[in-house]
Amino acid sequence: MTELKVGEAYEGSRLDRFLSKTTDIPRGALQKLIRTGAIKLNGRKTAPSEKVGSGDLVSIDAADVSARSVEFNDSLPFPDVIYEDDIVLAVNKPPFLASQPYAGSTDCLSERIKLYFKDEIIRNDASFIPGVLTRLDTNTSGIVLSAKTPQAARNMSALISAGKLERIYTALCLGELRRNVHVTDWAFNDSKNNKMILYDEPGEGRTRMESVFSPIRSADGYTLVSAKLITGRKHQVRAQLAKLGFPVVGDSKYGEGGSNGEGIIARQALHCSLVSFTLWYDSSRLTIKCELPEDMQKALELSGIGRHTVNESLPLQD
């Protein structure tokens, strides 16, 4: 028999989510243990969706169950922190770094964030491990958010799900975009090829993808574009700009003929430069900005656009 006491950080969490964060029980086994009564809340049989409160006692009658153990890779660097308060951490993800672990990987942004919070995680017996809430493609740079408490993670995830997180990307594109474009497509995830296929009409398996694209400056067949995401879908900026005829420079997946931007940058020239949202506890607005990395600045110079700062972006309008 294993017993876990619910801390204040998990007040109001679902039972199954509390256990998924605090034990190493696989999700499928966890659901079965709750349904069969092997997991009880304050001594009684319950349901996976029941909310737990601070001080509640969860008992687990199963073999080989223990509180989640956590390992740290002390050889990794800390993330590049651009904003931090009591609830939110914002970091600048460099290009060529994955947001989360993948098979065979030893380094990713979530591991660096975990290492950054090592002392706090150990002090709280690994009851909560901060990770990434907003992901970027491996070759995309810029702002990634993390929550520092379970309650903050739930509230921020709710903002994201409700479309209340404003995100603005900066991209260097092939072609000269001359006006603001508000575009809606219907996207199908081609998982076999790891690519989003866009359609003009809704259909089975398709999700709405909506963005506003605004030109900042153009030169010699290139445009620096500001992209405001209305929805947040996989490869959204890359796929929609390519469909419009302005593929992101260096994007081998969506670029015309596997365009590599004529060698001016070694990855897609795409950067998450601004994130803004209203805080749930005092209704104030938090806006976080992040300047372009040096490889994008160099690409802007080579393209004839010239170096850029985030505050130079034109206002985005529909």
State residue 164's pLDDT score: 92
CATH of the domain at 273: 3.30.2350.10
- Among residues 151, 129, 123, 157, the alpha carbon closest in space to that of 10 is found at 151
139 domain residue, yes or no: yes
State residue 317's pLDDT score: 46
- 8 A C-beta contact, residue 260 and residue 252: yes
Which of the residues in the chain have pLDDT under 50? 258, 317-318
**Domain final residue pick, 107, 136, 161:** 161
Are 141 and 222 within one domain? no
State pTM to two decimals: 0.81
Range of the domain at 307: 166-312
Are 119 and 144 within one domain? yes
Are 218 and 182 within one domain? yes
**Domain final residue pick, 29, 60, 91:** 60
74 domain residue, yes or no: no
The C-alpha atoms of residue 316 and residue 234 are separated, in whole angstroms, by 22
CATH of the domain at 16: 3.10.290.10
Q: What is the pLDDT of residues 116-173, one digit of tens each?
A: 999 988 887 777 888 899 999 999 999 999 999 888 888 998 999 898 999 999 999 9
Are 199 and 259 within one domain? yes
**Burial status of residue 198 (CB atoms within 10 A of its CB: 0-12, 13-18, 19 or more):** buried
- 8 A C-beta contact, residue 148 and residue 163: no
72 domain residue, yes or no: no
The C-alpha atoms of residue 125 and residue 130 are separated, in whole angstroms, by 13
Query: At which residue do the structure tokens 């904003």 appear?
Result: 83
The C-alpha atoms of residue 186 and residue 199 are separated, in whole angstroms, by 5
Query: At which residue do the structure tokens 């993390």 appear?
Result: 146
Report the run of H or E that residue 214 belongs to, with start and end.
strand 206-219
Going by their DSSP bridges, the two strands 141-147 and 270-278 should be labelled as: parallel
**Domain final residue pick, 161, 189, 207:** 161
Going by their DSSP bridges, the two strands 206-219 and 181-190 should be labelled as: antiparallel
233 domain residue, yes or no: yes
The C-alpha atoms of residue 171 and residue 148 are separated, in whole angstroms, by 30
- 8 A C-beta contact, residue 201 and residue 186: yes
Domain count, the chain: 3
Are 175 and 196 within one domain? yes
Are 291 and 187 within one domain? yes
